[in-house]
Chain A
Amino acid sequence: MERATLYSKLSRLLVLVILFGGAVSFIVPFYVTLAMSLKSQSELATTSMWSWPREVTFQNYHTVLTNPMVSFASFLKNTAIITVISTIGTLFGCTVVAYGFARMSFAGRDRLFLVLLATMMLPGLLTMIPSYVIYAKIHWVNSFLPLTVPAFFGGGAFNIFLLRQFYLGLPKELDEAAFLDGASHWTIFHRIILPLSGPALATVGIFTFMGAWRDFMGPLLYLNDTEKQTLELGLRTYQSLNGTKWHLIMASTVLVSIPIIILFFIGQRYFVKGIVMTGLK
């Protein structure tokens, strides 16, 4: 018995060591970026990229933020607008639709659900070109519309699928009791089902939010003016303007990463819990 505890203690230590080594290698790129962003141009040119700056300077951040051609504040604003709207759209769309698929019966439901599953498998690249053509022809290019409006129409097959699984897991007796009281589907949906789906919604919401926030291809295709660009695309614009000025590039990289990392820490606990709950397996 004693030997067994020793054995398990040892193996735990081993796990800890491996975890530590792995974590270091995952985090090192962040450290290097931060370190480089805090060095002056001359120190960056002369010291190893591993080293912590001898003299911490915030000058690079100042230079980045005061660039006359790109405004990171407006990038942040644009990103926030697009992200919030498309997340709201997604949450609205996928809850309603998932309820329909999970709790109601209607003509052609199962086959429509098959269509939904098929669209999950569909390569998004296929629709990239024609979607651009359509948006170009209706003059939506260079506006937020292509990045926000589609979210209101169902909110993505995957999210619908996730929520439908979750709703299927809720006891059917809840609805039946309400039905006997004469409640309509809409009442059941927003009085009973919605209040119960908090964690699932949080998961879908956070994933959607993160996805929209980090989206690069969408803004690249649809946002042309610098002042309409998002953080992700704006970072690219800033970097192509500044070529090989690594001290500035790294400072802008850190700036753009800060909001999303803060967001991640706020929403952290929903990730694992939410996935378990929605029964994604």
Chain B
Amino acid sequence: MALKRFSILRFAMAATAVCACCIPAQVSAQTIHLTIRCWDGDDNIPPIYSAARSFEKEHPNIKVRVESVTDSYQEKLLSEVAAGIAPDVVHMDPGNIEKYAIRKALLPLNDFIAKSKYDIGAFYKNLIDAHTFHGLLYVLPRDIAPISAIYYNKRLFDEAKLPYPDGKWTWDFHERPELREHDFLWVIHQLSKEINGRVVRWGYAPSWQDLLWQQFSLSTGGRWADDYMHPMRMQYDDPKVMRAIQFAADLTLKYHWVPSATAISTVMQSSAKQAFAEQKIAMFQSGIWEVPFLRKELLKGKPGYFDWDIAMPPAYKDGTLHFPTGGSGYAIMSSTKHPWEAWLLTQWMGGVQGQYTLAATGMAQPAIQKLSRSAPWIPGPNSPVEERTPANRLMMDTSAPMVVFGPFGTEWAESSDFATRVFSKIWDGSAQAVDVIPEANKQGQQRLDYLRHEVKRPPFNWWIGGIVALALFSSLIVWVYWPERTIVRSPKERRENRAAYLFVMPWILGVVLFTAGPMLLSLLMSVADWDIIQPAKWRGLENFREAFFVDPRFWPSLKVTLVYTVFAVPLGVAASLALALLLNVKVRGIPVWRTCYYLPSVASGVAASMIWKRIFQPDGGLLNALIYGPDGHRNFLGLAGLLHPLAETNGQVNWLNNDHLALPALTIMSLWGAGGGMIILLAGLQGVPQYYYEAATLDGASVWHRFKSITVPLISPTLFFCVLTGFIGTFQSFTQALLMTDGGPNDATMFFGLHMYKSGFQALRMGYASALGWVLFFVVLAFTVLQLRMSKWVYYEGG
């Protein structure tokens, strides 16, 4: 009998294994498979495919798989390094080299270059330097991307009777009309257009908010880090930096010449490039990679077409001009099984062939200087018509030496956020730069110091850890079996005992393997510093000290979770109960109603997040359309007035992008899933005998009385179940925040679980994340015990 059961288990497991591995393995002995990963999305991927295909033609024994990851690229790659499943060749940029290099996850290219006598001198020097870490080159750069292209609409320049920009313009902290077209501010002033106090066209927009102040700051000598390659000091409070930040905000708030990022995303519902293509912005600044998009959007002969080109950004009045830059290339992961072939691929994709293909699309400026000065990058008389715009591409070569890379460094990336998150207050005008930045900078510096000064820690002793874990596990076994030690069993009972253990064995194994084991490991990890790539280090209670006293996100994220739970669970249970009571009335079409209400609970969570993102959209979203009406003047239920203090410049609120509304928005969304609880409560209600009500009605009890004295007590166990599981589940919930807001804005939806997830899988601080997990464990435990204690209101029949 037992044998039969066991064979079923074995068969099932074998079936699982077969199905899980059913990716066909038709690898012939000679063929080598390589995977190359890049972050280019749908619009930019074709040239990479075609370069890979031409590589395959050149090397028939190598098959290349091109993967595109556009969402959380670095986090995903890092966790793949941890799991040992990283691709062979990856797209990499200077800012992220360090975190892989210190973990020895990348192969230095120097030996390959020497061996194949590769001419690295042909590349832009500063680009090679930026991709070098501790003297070793880790990335073969494929492109340099100075954020120096000002895309301008020739038609609007013609209309305003302005000459096209020749790059000789400058800017100052105030408009200088006497310089005419040589003053940048005067030009964007001329190009901006207001009708009845409402901006209908902006003169200029940076592609993202930070670009403008960074350019202003760099050009006036303001540096927000002491050393851009290895930053130790955070200097957002440098007067020059603060002045640049304030000035960038003023251009939006005081002069209305530059739209804010929120105005672009909410009022225009698009991106700067989209708004430029729709002629709502006369010029926008970005990298050269916007070209394929504009070529696709602006087709000659199609309605809405206009001529356009690119120009150099304005220098400061003293002639200084610097701007931030991108730049990327391909790196070889050290886990590859075919380093030499991976180098061949890297050399092809990152070298002349790959750069040539990319240059032809106009999307990426070649990292090899010579290529950056010739066709197809520079359009010639022989280039196809559609590749001639933008004509002024030689400008990109001129701008290459003016770029500033960085600040780089893993610690910088993690800590600068604490200084820069107050910027949103400056952009919306609720604070002045000089008032908020110094304090924020101090916070960021503290974080940087904390991360930089992690002391040398002793290695984690897994033997001792294992013994502790074993001891804890044994004590559980002792707790279970200690009372059994005196019981004497008859042979029949012993037989039953053995049979019973066969029955419950799957669960026992499951608990040991998938619950107790991970919990014990988690306990060990909570006192360790471990990225699961390098050997673990002993950190003792420092993880907990960091959580309680150092981590600036710990308490806020706990608060967000508590607030959300306290609102969402009672509201959700109340809504479920209300629905269940309604559906318990004998009306027509109950199955139809039930379906309508339950359907959202079965809908896919990702789909729901997309639908609700659209519902919460500030302009033209369903919710705002309801509140403000189609013309924007309605005041539905007085909500518009109530929400007025939180409204954006267009008079409507931006639900998911507002510190005060993002969490309520997620709460509203959670009510959409009330159907789940409804079904369970409905089942409970249908278990209440009908004659109780009939008897009570005969006695003259009112509806409320019947509800209070019959319904509630009799379904109280179900209700209690809903509340209890609701609390436990909601305390851990973070998927919707991950999908919809990613914790933002300003950490307003940084749930505890999300903080933990990010600490673990994005920063790879598995030890710290485990410590957070235990904190959550005790919070949930406390709540559960509290509720069990307070469960006197629950009525158990016969008990």
Contact A85 B16 (CB under 8 A): yes
| B20 pairs with A143, CB closer than 8 A | yes
A240 to B583 CA separation, bound complex (whole angstroms): 39
Contacts of A228 in B (CB 8 A): 23
B496-554 interface (Cβ within 8 A of A)? 496-497, 499-501, 503-504, 506-511, 513-515, 517-519, 521-522, 525, 532
Chain B interface: which size bin? 35 or more
A202 at the B interface (CB under 8 A): no
- Is B472 part of the contact surface with A, judged by Cβ < 8 Å? no
**CB proximity to A under 8 Å, residues B577-607:** 579, 582-583, 585-588, 591, 593-600, 602-607
CA A150 to CA B782, docked complex, whole Å:
28
The segment from B169-177, B186-194, B656-664, B679-687 found at the interface with A is: B679-687
Say yes or no: A106 contacts B500, CB within 8 Å.
yes
A154-B511 contact in complex given A235-B607, A241-B70, A249-B610, C-beta closer than 8 Å = yes
On whether A272 and B682 interact (CB within 8 A), knowing A152-B506, A216-B606, the answer reads yes
Chain B residues near A67 (CB-CB < 8 A): 42
Q: 1/0 per position for B713-725, CB-CB distance to A under 8 A?
A: 0010110010000
Could you tell me the distance between the alpha carbons of A69 and B70 in the complex, rounded to whole angstroms? 12
Interface membership of A125, Cβ < 8 A: yes
CB pair A186 B585 closer than 8 Å: no
Report A136 CB to chain B, min CB distance, Å: 4
The proximity string for A residues 117-139 relative to B, scoring 1 for CB distances below 8 Å and 0 otherwise, is 00101111111111111111101
Q: Given known contacts A16-B588, A126-B776, A127-B519, is B16 in contact with A145 (CB within 8 Å)?
A: yes
CA distance A49 to B9 in the complex (A): 52
Query: How far apart sit A256 and B476, CA to CA, in the bound complex (Å)?
Result: 44
Candidates B503, B607, B760, B774; contact of A257 at CB < 8 Å: B607
Q: Is the CB of B484 within 8 A of A107?
A: yes
Instruction: Tell me whether A257 and B603 are in contact (CB under 8 A).
Output: yes
Q: Which listed residue, A26, A100, A108, A129, touches B760 by the CB 8 Å rule?
A: A129
CB contacts (< 8 Å) of A272 on chain B: these are 594, 679, 682-683, 686
Nearest residue, chain B, Cβ from A30: B599
B-chain residues with CB within 8 Å of residue A105 when the two chains form the complex: 493, 496-497, 500
Is the beta-carbon distance between B610 and A126 smaller than 8 angstroms?
Answer: no
Asked whether B31 is an interface residue with its Cβ less than 8 Å from the other chain, the reply is no
Once A96-B503, A97-B507, A130-B519 are accepted as A-B contacts, the answer to whether A123 and B731 lie under 8 Å apart by CB is: yes
Contact with A along B661-680 (1 / 0, CB 8 A): 00000000000100100011
Q: Does A192 contact B (CB under 8 A)?
A: no
Give the distance in Å from the alpha carbon of A222 to the alpha carbon of B770 in the complex. 18
Contact with B along A238-267 (1 / 0, CB 8 A): 011111101001100100110011001100
Pair A49/B622 contact, Cβ less than 8 Å? yes
Given contacts A48-B625, A244-B271, contact A144 B19 (CB under 8 A): yes
Residues of B within 8 A of A36 (CB): 614
**A5 within 8 Å of B (CB atoms):** no
Contact across chains for A154 and B679 when beta carbons are under 8 A apart: no
Stretch at the interface among B81-89, B352-360, B417-425: B81-89
Flag if A26 contacts B600 (CB, 8 Å): yes
A184-B511 in contact (CB<8A): no
Closest to A249 in B: B610
Inter-subunit contact A235/B604 (CB<8 Å): yes
A261, B679: Cβ atoms under 8 Å? no
Is B642 located at the chain interface by the 8 A CB criterion?
no
Determine whether the beta carbon of A154 is less than 8 Å from that of B510: yes
A133 touches B525 (CB 8 A): yes
Find out whether the CB atom of B84 lies under 8 angstroms from the CB atom of A112.
no
Would you call A264 and B686 a contact (CB within 8 A)?
no
Residue A33 lies at the interface, judged by CB distance under 8 Å to chain B: yes
Q: Which residues of B contact A253 (CB under 8 A)?
A: 604, 607, 610-611
Dominant secondary structure at the A interface: helix
B610 touches A133 (CB 8 A): no
Contact with B along A130-162 (1 / 0, CB 8 A): 111111110101111100111011110000100
B269 to chain A, nearest CB (A): 8
Partner of B510 from A69, A93, A128, A261 at Cβ < 8 Å: A93
Q: Is the CB of B756 within 8 A of A125?
A: yes
Contact check, A29 vs B605: say whether CB atoms are below 8 A apart: no
- Binary CB contact string for chain A from 9 to 36 against chain B (1 if under 8 A, 0 otherwise): 0011001101100110011111011001
Decide if B587 touches A19 in the complex (CB within 8 Å).
yes
Question: Are B683 and A276 interface neighbours, CB within 8 A?
Answer: yes
Min CB distance, B573 to chain A, in Å?
15
The answer to whether A81 and B604 have CB atoms under 8 Å apart is no
Interface residues on chain A, number (Cβ under 8 Å) = 118
Known A16-B588, A134-B517; judge A232-B625 contact (CB<8 A): no
Chain A hits for B596, CB < 8 A: 23, 26-27
Q: What is the number of contacts between chain A and chain B, taking CB atoms within 8 Å?
A: 346
Measured CB to CB, the nearest residue on chain A to B687 is: A276
Check: A166 CB closer than 8 A to any chain B CB: no
- Which residues from A are CB-within-8-Å of B513? 150, 153
Contact for A150 among B4, B514, B602, CB less than 8 A = B514
**B80 is an interface residue with CB less than 8 A from chain A:** yes
Bits for B482-497, please: 1 = Cβ < 8 Å to A, else 0: 0110010000010011
Bound form: Cα–Cα A33–B12 in Å = 40
Q: Contacting B597 at CB < 8 Å: which of A23, A240, A260, A280? A: A23
| In the complex, chain B residues whose CB is within 8 Å of the CB of A97 | 503-504, 506-507
**Are B756 and A275 in contact (CB-based, < 8 A)?**
no
Contact yes or no, B614 A246, CB < 8 A? yes
Nearest Cβ on chain B to A243's Cβ, whole angstroms:
7
Complex interface: chain A residues within 8 A of B518 (CB): 126-127, 130-131, 134
CB distance from A146 to the nearest CB of B (A): 10
Contact with A along B773-788 (1 / 0, CB 8 A): 1101100110010000
Q: How far is the CA of A184 from the CA of B4 in the complex (A)?
A: 13
A55 part of interface (Cβ distance < 8 Å): no
**Does chain A have a CB within 8 A of B739?**
yes
20 additional contacts (CB under 8 A) given A154-B510, A235-B610: A11-B585, A93-B506, A96-B506, A104-B496, A106-B500, A108-B484, A122-B515, A123-B732, A126-B776, A127-B518, A129-B766, A130-B517, A132-B760, A150-B513, A153-B513, A226-B67, A239-B606, A275-B680, A276-B687, A281-B717
Q: Which residues of B contact A (CB under 8 A)?
A: 1-2, 4-5, 8-9, 12-13, 15-17, 19-23, 41-42, 45, 67-68, 70-71, 76, 80, 82-85, 270-271, 274, 476, 479-481, 483-484, 487, 493, 496-497, 499-501, 503-504, 506-511, 513-515, 517-519, 521-522, 525, 532, 579, 582-583, 585-588, 591, 593-600, 602-607, 610-612, 614-615, 620-622, 625, 630, 672, 675, 679-680, 682-684, 686-687, 715, 717-718, 721, 728, 731-732, 735, 739, 753, 756-757, 760-761, 766, 769-770, 773-774, 776-777, 780-781, 784
Q: Give 9 pairs: A residue, B residue, CB < 8 Å, sorted on A.
A: A22-B597, A130-B521, A186-B2, A189-B503, A224-B80, A241-B68, A243-B41, A257-B607, A272-B594
What are the 7 closest A-B residue pairs judged by CB atoms, nearest first? A153-B510, A100-B503, A154-B507, A240-B71, A144-B20, A106-B500, A130-B518
A→B interface (CB under 8 Å): 11-12, 15-16, 18-19, 22-23, 26-30, 32-33, 36, 48-50, 67, 69, 81, 85, 88-89, 92-93, 96-97, 99-101, 104-109, 111-112, 115-116, 119, 121-137, 139, 141-145, 148-150, 152-155, 160, 184-187, 189, 210, 214, 216-217, 221, 224-228, 231-233, 235-237, 239-244, 246, 249-250, 253, 256-257, 260-261, 264-265, 268, 271-272, 275-276, 280-281
